[in-house]
């Protein structure tokens, strides 16, 4: 951990460096991103080991959900950064003839990235890529709950960049608090709704702009015309990857009553197919991050009727993929984001019930809908607000640089990935270059221009 009084030194060092204008040069940014790429490749083995140590992620899971996704993001950003960074010409309004409108993307300055523990690599590295691409200096505060990954991130950044361009400050909430008291230009936070509110309050004191990537209860709706066997596989994949500790995991299942039993039986088959008959002894099954979270999750196991799973190992912090049937909205498992391998099952008869039940709750980060009917798709997509999601799949909307990723309402504000990251970490400066070749007098007072103005500016 860094000693407290050097937090100020790092921030002021980065601010001084930013003011030199070095990061404004797009070639400088491209070089930094290539350096980052080399460093990521060189550290791959260490990252895989650290993810195994902190969360028992298998190599396949570590690669697909953390490492590969960052490679893809980085390659995409390197390919397009020069185009994104260029000032763009826009149309000229009739009232502005002779002038030229331009949008100049400019970096904010010094950016703070606060990352959570559940995808500790991806959720620190993706914002780093976006912030560097946009020309900022960056300070990352990784989660204290995944110390092995936090160490690798810290070493990687230290070995790759001068501290005045990118730095890692390890520690818990006290370090975040200290950092947020600094004269920062942007805060990018990923974590819980509770801490998101604290971050926004701290940022408000200096009017620092924020992106908040938060969580919530993401519904997974299965209509009776869905391809049930495929839906079961994709839901099991989305829910039990990383032992359910995924911000966009399906939090609860909302299935049409007449297909519930069939869907559940396919899900039980998929669990056995992916994790074997005894997931607790599968060396690749994810573990719960801490005893506190293990105890919180264990308390849910008595809610509703245990339909599948429920075994756990407190010593190893493991909980089997678990399905809870006969769950109602007033049970504790439905009152907060689950964030673990426990899937409550609720049923509905008509889609209207789904729309009103989901809309009664805070806007979710993700929503998944399994149906082949376009009318049903339209009904859900047009009537429920959510951050992002999939029709006939889970999680995959996150893993593409072409879609903005973020929440809405209580699940967050702002978005990133690909060009959306570049935009998030850039201020879009509007510039109007006026001509001096002529000057319309009708805009000035006392020149009788009102009639013409009314004509030009009519609704
Ligand atoms: P958390 O909010 O407890 O912690 C996130 C970060 O904030 C950590 O670095 C932590 O040290 C720091 N922090 C904790 N208390 C703080 C305080 N009082 N002041 C300032 N900083 C503080 O979240 P977590 O437990 O690490 O992650 C789980 C949550 O994150 C879940 O709610 C999940 O849905 C959400 N999440 C969201 C996304 C997304 O992309 N939207 C991704 C992953 C996780």
Contacts of 408 (CB under 8 A, 6+ apart): 363, 385, 386, 387
Pocket test for ligand 1, best of 116, 145, 177, 411 (most atoms within 8 A of CB): 116
Residue 144 CA, ligand 1 centroid: distance in Å: 10
Looking at residue 4, its pLDDT comes to: 47
Q: Best mutation site among 177, 192, 412 for ligand 1, i.e. most ligand atoms within 8 A of its Cβ?
A: 192
| H helix or E strand, kind and range, residue 79 | helix 68-85
Q: Which residues are near ligand 1 (CB < 6 Å)? A: 114-119, 123, 141, 143-144, 172-173, 176-177, 190-192, 195, 198-199, 213-215, 247, 337, 339, 365, 407, 412
CA–centroid distance, 191 to ligand 1, in Å, is: 2
Element (H, E) at 168: strand 166-168
pLDDT digits (tens, 9 = 90+) for 405-458: 999 999 999 999 999 999 999 999 999 999 999 999 999 999 999 999 999 999
Q: Residue with structure tokens 């998929």?
A: 270
**Structure token digits, residue 83:** 């185009």
Tell me which residue of 309, 195, 316, 193 sits closest to 247, measured CA to CA: 193
Which pLDDT value is given to residue 1? 45
Residue whose CA is closest, atom 14 of ligand 1? Answer: 173
Centre of ligand 1 to C-alpha 334, Å, is 20
What residues have CB less than 8 Å from 340, skipping those under 6 apart?
Answer: 243, 244, 245, 288, 293, 296, 297, 300, 319
| Ligand 1 center–CA 365 separation, angstroms | 14
Q: What is the pTM of this model?
A: 0.95
pLDDT of 192-236, one tens digit each?
A: 999 999 999 999 999 999 999 999 999 999 999 999 999 999 999
- Tokens coding 142: 């990784």
End-to-end, the C-alpha distance of the chain in Å comes to: 60
Nearest CA to ligand 1 atom 23: 191
Q: Which of 66, 117, 145, 191 has the most ligand 1 atoms within 8 A of CB, as the residue to mutate?
A: 191
Residue with CA closest to ligand 1 atom 9: 143
DSSP states of 372-389? S-HHHHHHHHHH---SEE
Q: Could you say which residues of the chain have pLDDT below 50?
A: 1-4
Active site residue 336: no
With b for 16 or more beta-carbon neighbours within 10 A and e for fewer, the 280-312 pattern comes to eebeebbbbbeeebbebbbebbebbeebbbbeb
Closest Cα to atom 30 of ligand 1: 191
Structure tokens at 76: 């995409």
Ligand 1 mean position, distance from CA 259 (Å): 36
Query: Ligand 1 center to residue 115 CA distance, Å?
Result: 7
CA 311 to chain centre: 31
Ligand 1 atom nearest to 216, measured from its CA:
34
Q: Which atom of ligand 1 is nearest to the CA of 365?
A: 41
The atom number, within ligand 1, closest to the CA of 248 reads: 34
Measured CA angle at 450 (ends 445, 455), to 5 deg = 145
**Gap between the Cα atoms of 162 and 293, Å rounded:** 37
Nearest CA to ligand 1 atom 22: 173
C-alpha of residue 378 to centroid of ligand 1, in Å:
33
Selecting among 61, 213, 320, 419, the annotated active-site residue is 213
CA of 4 to the centre of ligand 1 (A): 21
* Triad 377, 381, 384: Cα angle to 5°: 130
Q: Whose CA is nearest to atom 15 of ligand 1?
A: 173
Helix axes 147-160, 122-133, angle to 10 degrees: 30
What domains can you pick out in the chain, each with its CATH number? 4-214+412-431 (3.40.605.10), 219-406 (3.40.309.10)
Burial 362-372 (b: 16+ CB within 10 A, else e): bbbbbbbbbbe
Among 66, 247, 320, 419, the active-site one is: 247
> Which ligand 1 atom sits nearest the alpha carbon of residue 247?
34
Which of these, 306, 352, 349, lies nearest to 326 by C-alpha position? 306
247 is catalytic: yes
CA distances from 227 to 53, 219, 233, 371 (A): 37, 18, 10, 7
Q: Pseudo-torsion of CA 248, 320, 172, 125, nearest 10°?
A: -50
């Amino acid at each position: 951990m860094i000693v407290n009084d050097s937090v100020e030194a790092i921030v002021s060092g980065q601010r001084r460096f930013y003011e030199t204008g070095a990061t404004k040069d797009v070639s400088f940014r491209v070089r930094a991103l290539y350096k980052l790429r080399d460093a990521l490749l060189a550290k791959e083995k260490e990252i895989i080991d650290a993810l195994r140590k902190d969360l028992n992620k298998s190599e396949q899971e570590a690669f697909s959900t953390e490492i590969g996704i960052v490679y893809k993001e980085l390659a995409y950003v390197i390919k397009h950064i020069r185009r994104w960074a260029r000032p763009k010409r826009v149309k000229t309004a009739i009232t502005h003839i002779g002038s030229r409108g331009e949008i100049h993307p400019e970096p904010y300055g010094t950016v703070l990235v606060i990352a959570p523990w559940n995808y500790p690599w991806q959720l620190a590295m993706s914002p780093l890529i976006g912030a560097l691409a946009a020309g900022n200096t960056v300070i990352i505060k990784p989660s204290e709950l995944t110390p092995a990954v936090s160490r690798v991130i810290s070493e990687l950044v230290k070995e790759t960049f001068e501290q005045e361009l990118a730095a890692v400050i390890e520690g818990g909430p006290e370090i975040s608090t200290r950092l947020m008291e600094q004269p920062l230009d942007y805060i990018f936070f990923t974590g819980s709704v509770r801490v998101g509110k604290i971050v926004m309050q701290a940022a408000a004191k200096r009017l620092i702009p924020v992106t908040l990537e938060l969580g919530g209860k993401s519904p997974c709706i299965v209509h009776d015309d869905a391809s049930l066997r495929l839906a079961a596989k994709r839901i099991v994949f989305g829910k039990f990857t990383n032992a359910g500790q995924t911000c966009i995991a399906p939090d609860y299942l909302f299935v049409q009553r007449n297909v519930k039993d069939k869907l559940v039986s396919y899900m039980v088959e998929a669990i056995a197919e992916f994790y074997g008959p005894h997931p607790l002894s599968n060396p690749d099954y994810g573990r719960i991050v801490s005893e506190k979270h293990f105890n919180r999750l264990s308390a849910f196991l008595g809610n509703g009727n245990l339909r599948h799973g429920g075994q756990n190992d407190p010593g190893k912090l493991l909980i089997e993929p678990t399905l809870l049937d006969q769950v109602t909205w007033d049970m504790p498992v439905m009152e907060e984001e689950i964030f673990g391998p426990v899937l409550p099952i609720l049923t509905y008869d008509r889609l209207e019930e789904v729309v009103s039940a989901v809309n009664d709750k805070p806007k979710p980060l993700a929503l998944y809908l399994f149906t082949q009917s376009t009318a049903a798709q339209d009904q859900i997509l047009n009537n429920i607000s959510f951050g992002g999601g999939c029709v006939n799949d889970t999680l995959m909307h996150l893993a593409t640089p072409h879609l903005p990723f973020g929440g809405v309402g209580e699940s967050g504000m702002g978005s990133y990935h690909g060009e959306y990251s570049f935009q998030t970490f850039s201020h879009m400066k509007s510039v109007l270059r006026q001509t001096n070749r002529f000057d319309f007098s009708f805009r000035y007072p006392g020149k009788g221009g009102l009639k013409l103005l009314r004509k030009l500016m009519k609704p």
